[in-house]
Amino acid sequence: MIGIYWIVDMLLVAVEAVFLVFTFRNYSSLGRTPIGRLLVMVSAIFLAQSVLMFAFFLLWAEAGYTVAVAGPLLIISGLGMLGSAILYRISAM
């Protein structure tokens, strides 16, 4: 059974991925400029990272890792979600 800490971790990473999809969409119109290409690449890299983290969290939860692992990852997941929300806010300006 997956614990509540893992569920919250996966939820935070999923929300982060949603913000990054919207960020990628906002920056894709700038893809023809040098800075636009870099912003699209950064968005894509962070999106790939969040999808991989979701997969790893699911794997670790199924492997039986407890709050000793999931707890500290909550901080990292929360900061990642906050950073992606700020990046989205910047891209929407």
- What confidence tens digit (pLDDT) does each residue in 24-41 have? 999 988 878 999 899 999
Beta carbons of 77 and 13 less than 8 angstroms apart? yes
Beta carbons of 91 and 27 less than 8 angstroms apart? yes
The overall pTM is greater than 0.75: yes
Tell whether the model's pLDDT for residue 1 goes beyond 80.
no
Residue 19's contacts (CB-CB under 8 Å, 6 or more residues apart) are 81, 84, 85, 87, 88
pLDDT at 32: 85
User: What are the domain boundaries of the chain?
Assistant: 4-91
How far is 62 from 80, CA to CA, in rounded Å? 23
How far is 44 from 69, CA to CA, in rounded Å? 27
- What confidence tens digit (pLDDT) does each residue in 66-86 have? 999 999 999 999 999 999 999
